[in-house]
């Protein structure tokens, strides 16, 4: 057979494989870079006393408005270099929004240790899912709709708990969040590896949001445990 057989997209299998690897590599690099503005935003938020400046209700409205606004902007700019800067600005904003929880945990006697534990746990989750995405051969696209439903349910219940302030419900939400968004990391990385996601900015946004939620949920659980000791 002709060795130069082309795919339906006019590219050889080797070129397609190289393209997938490039998207995955760029996703990892941009994901690592996005941690810098996130940490900076959280630090500035804590230093500025953002945690005490906003009520839970106002904080929720700012978070939802800012998050959806940034995600809309990222979608519009994802095919240009500007998309990288919009994404990094978004991660800075997310760091600011995280400062309320970080500041609360830092107020505990072992707060810094709890934050490092949450960071380490999130890193372990990412490494585990990244490794698993390379091992699993089957297509995981079908699980995406169920994960979206699960995420929406968590968001709705989470918003309700901002006003209810139930400790037991917070623990339940945190555990479910870790489970759902850990699966999301696997799903999104597998999509890149399978060539189903070809835009590294979009891929980075998806994985970043999952890591953010896993970290936030782990930190909330550790913070609750730290207060009970």
Residue 213 pLDDT exceeds 80: yes
Domain tally, the chain? 1
185 touches 142 (CB < 8 A): no
Q: Quick check: 82 and 199 in contact, CB under 8 A?
A: no
Within a domain: 153: yes
Structural domain includes residue 6:
no
The number of angstroms, rounded, from the C-alpha of 130 to the middle of its chain's C-alpha atoms is 14
Within-domain flag for 5: no
Q: Answer for the pair 37, 89: CB distance below 8 angstroms, yes or no.
A: yes
Give Rg (Cα) of the chain: 19
Residues 6+ apart with CB under 8 A from 11: 19
Read off the DSSP letter of residue 204: H
Q: Domain limits at 182?
A: 13-228
Q: What is the pLDDT of residues 146-191, one digit of tens each?
A: 999 999 999 999 888 878 877 888 899 999 999 999 999 999 999 9
- Give pLDDT, residue 18: 64
Tell whether 4 is covered by a domain.
Answer: no
3 in a structural domain: no
Establish if 209 belongs to a structural domain: yes
Is 7 among the domain residues? no
Instruction: Please tell me the pTM assigned to this model.
Output: 0.88
What would the pLDDT profile of 79-101 be if each residue is shown by its tens digit?
999 999 999 999 999 999 999 89
Q: Is residue 174 situated within a structural domain?
A: yes
The three-state secondary structure class of 6 is coil
pLDDT tens sequence across 20-38: 789 999 999 999 999 999 9
């Amino acid at each position: 057979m002709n060795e130069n057989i082309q795919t339906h997209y006019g590219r050889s299998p080797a070129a397609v494989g190289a393209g997938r690897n490039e998207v995955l590599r760029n996703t990892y690099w941009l994901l690592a870079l996005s941690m810098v503005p996130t940490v900076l935003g959280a630090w500035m938020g804590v230093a500025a006393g953002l945690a005490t400046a906003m009520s839970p209700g106002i904080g929720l409205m700012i978070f939802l408005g800012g998050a959806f606004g940034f995600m809309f902007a990222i979608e519009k700019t994802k095919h240009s270099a500007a998309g990288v800067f919009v994404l990094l600005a978004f991660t800075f904003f997310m760091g600011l929004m995280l400062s309320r929880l970080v500041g609360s945990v830092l107020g505990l006697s072992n707060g810094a240790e709890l934050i490092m534990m949450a960071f380490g746990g999130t890193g372990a989750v990412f490494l585990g899912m990244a490794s698993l995405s390379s091992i699993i051969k089957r297509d995981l696209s079908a699980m995406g709709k169920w994960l979206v439903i699960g995420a929406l349910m968590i968001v709705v219940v989470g918003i309700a708990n901002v006003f209810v302030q139930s400790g037991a419900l917070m623990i339940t939400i945190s555990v479910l969040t870790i489970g759902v968004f850990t699966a999301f990391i696997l799903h999104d990385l597998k999509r890149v590896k399978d060539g189903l996601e070809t835009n590294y900015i979009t891929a980075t946004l998806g994985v970043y949001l999952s890591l953010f939620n896993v970290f936030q949920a782990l930190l909330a659980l550790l913070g609750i445990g730290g207060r009970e000791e």
